[in-house]
Amino acid sequence: MLCTGLEESSLPVPYLTGKNSGVRIAATMKEKELKAQGFTREGTQLRLLDVQSVADAPERVLDAARIAAELGLDFDTTTERALVDAARKLPEVTPAKLAAPWRTFASVGHKRLALELLDRVGAVESMLPEIFAMKGVEQPPQWHPEGDVWVHTLLSLEYLGEADAFITTATLLHDVGKPPTFEVSDRIRFTKHDSIGGRMAHKIALRLGFTAKEAEDIEWVVRAHMKFKHVKEMRPGRLKNLVLAPLFEALAAVVRADCLASHGDTSDLEFALNARGEALASESRPEPLLRGRDLVEMGFKPGPAIGEALRQVEALRAEGKITTRAHAKKFIKNFPQNCRENI
């Protein structure tokens, strides 16, 4: 996606570069908790206590990748071999069985590392072939100097930081429509990748165990993520509809990660966030107790005095000294005669 103007100093520093990168995240999970989930830690490696457990329940591959990412561990050889075998069976797992482990997996703090570990054992290819298809799909370097769609998606997850399973999944899927829409004309293009990707995201979300409503919402976010490059040219009404959309905050989180994972400019997003603030302030502002036409009916002549009288009414209302329309009219009747422009 094309985004524009962010100070370099405001970019978050990625916590990870490359596969595992020797990062050793502080271990917060106690050994007792780890064993309760069917794992143990041996030095810098994570080991399954019973390799048959993942053969019987392939969805546990997600648990293994999540825990290894949380603790900054590699898999031991026997565990990795068991995970690779189990990953091949993931397409057979029902959405009902995938729902809980996917939500927990997608909520992990170290999202990029978790996905890379999942990919390493073949689970991305078997369970999320649409994501696996992103590998090697080039992008226009002027907007995506970071590399192909797969690298961009990994970076998006990295920059996303703490987020729930819904936002993480929407971020993972925001460019899922790029591989099938890739074309080279005057440059690399992905025509309608947002709308096509939205439909794909809907199906994938259902497959991962999200509810029908959640799948619809994820589709909306994926479809809407390209709207931000047009916000500065939008008509006021259309812009207001976008920034006051129920899912705007989730959309903004996805778009921020998307921008930071490309060339780092977020001025379009900041413009939309400012518009949202103004729209929310306007929405929360109560209707005035009196309008200019009311004062004209009460004997005021059109002019500056009307504006001054209305401002005083609203100022007293803000102080709690005027609370009703009747109180406002009573105040206006006592408004100084010389302020009424010689009525």
What is the chain's mean pLDDT, rounded?
87
* CATH code (residue 190): 1.10.3090.10
Same domain, residue pair 224 and 334: no
Closest by CA to 176, choosing from 161, 156, 158, 162, is 156
- How many domains does the chain contain in total? 2
Same domain, residue pair 178 and 55: yes
The Cα 123–Cα 85 span in angstroms is 10
In a domain, 2, yes or no: no
pLDDT band at 63 (very low <50, low <70, confident <90, very high): very high
pLDDT band at 317 (very low <50, low <70, confident <90, very high): confident
Closest by CA to 97, choosing from 49, 122, 62, 133, is 62
Q: Looking at residue 28, what is its pLDDT?
A: 54
In a domain, 158, yes or no: yes
- Of 236, 254, 282, the domain-final residue: 282
**Residue-number span of the structural domain to which 205 is assigned:** 8-282
In a domain, 262, yes or no: yes
In a domain, 3, yes or no: no
- Of 258, 282, 306, the domain-final residue: 282
Write phi, then psi, for 211 (nearest 5 degrees): -70, 165
Give the model confidence (pLDDT) of 192-237 as tens digits.
999 999 999 999 999 999 999 999 999 999 999 999 989 999 999 9
- CA-based Rg of the chain, rounded to a whole angstrom? 28
Residue pair 277/240 in contact (Cβ under 8 Å)? The answer is no
In a domain, 329, yes or no: yes
pLDDT band at 336 (very low <50, low <70, confident <90, very high): low
The Cα 54–Cα 32 span in angstroms is 20
Same domain, residue pair 278 and 300: no
Please give the DSSP secondary-structure letter assigned to residue 13.
P
Q: Looking at residue 337, what is its pLDDT?
A: 52
Residue pair 158/112 in contact (Cβ under 8 Å)? The answer is yes
Same domain, residue pair 151 and 33: yes
Q: What is the pTM of this model?
A: 0.76
The Cα 94–Cα 92 span in angstroms is 6
Q: For strand 188-190 and strand 182-184, is the pairing parallel, antiparallel, or unpaired?
A: antiparallel
Same domain, residue pair 23 and 86: yes
Q: Looking at residue 70, what is its pLDDT?
A: 93
Same domain, residue pair 87 and 206: yes
Furthest C-alpha separation in the chain: 95
Residue pair 250/167 in contact (Cβ under 8 Å)? The answer is yes
pLDDT reading at 40 higher than 70: yes
Same domain, residue pair 75 and 208: yes
Give the model confidence (pLDDT) of 252-301 as tens digits.
999 999 999 998 889 999 999 999 999 998 877 678 889 888 888 888 88
Q: Looking at residue 36, what is its pLDDT?
A: 92
Same domain, residue pair 271 and 148: yes
Give the model confidence (pLDDT) of 106-142 as tens digits.
998 899 999 999 999 999 999 999 999 999 999 888 8
In a domain, 106, yes or no: yes
Q: Looking at residue 148, what is its pLDDT?
A: 95
Same domain, residue pair 61 and 203: yes
Indicate the range of 13-17, 18-22, 100-104, 280-284 predicted with least confidence: 13-17
In a domain, 1, yes or no: no
CA atoms within 13 A on the CB side of 228: 29
pLDDT reading at 143 higher than 50: yes
Same domain, residue pair 175 and 213: yes
Same domain, residue pair 41 and 177: yes
Same domain, residue pair 314 and 209: no
In a domain, 130, yes or no: yes
- Of 235, 252, 282, the domain-final residue: 282
Residues in Cβ contact with 56 at an 8 Å cutoff, skipping those fewer than 6 apart: none
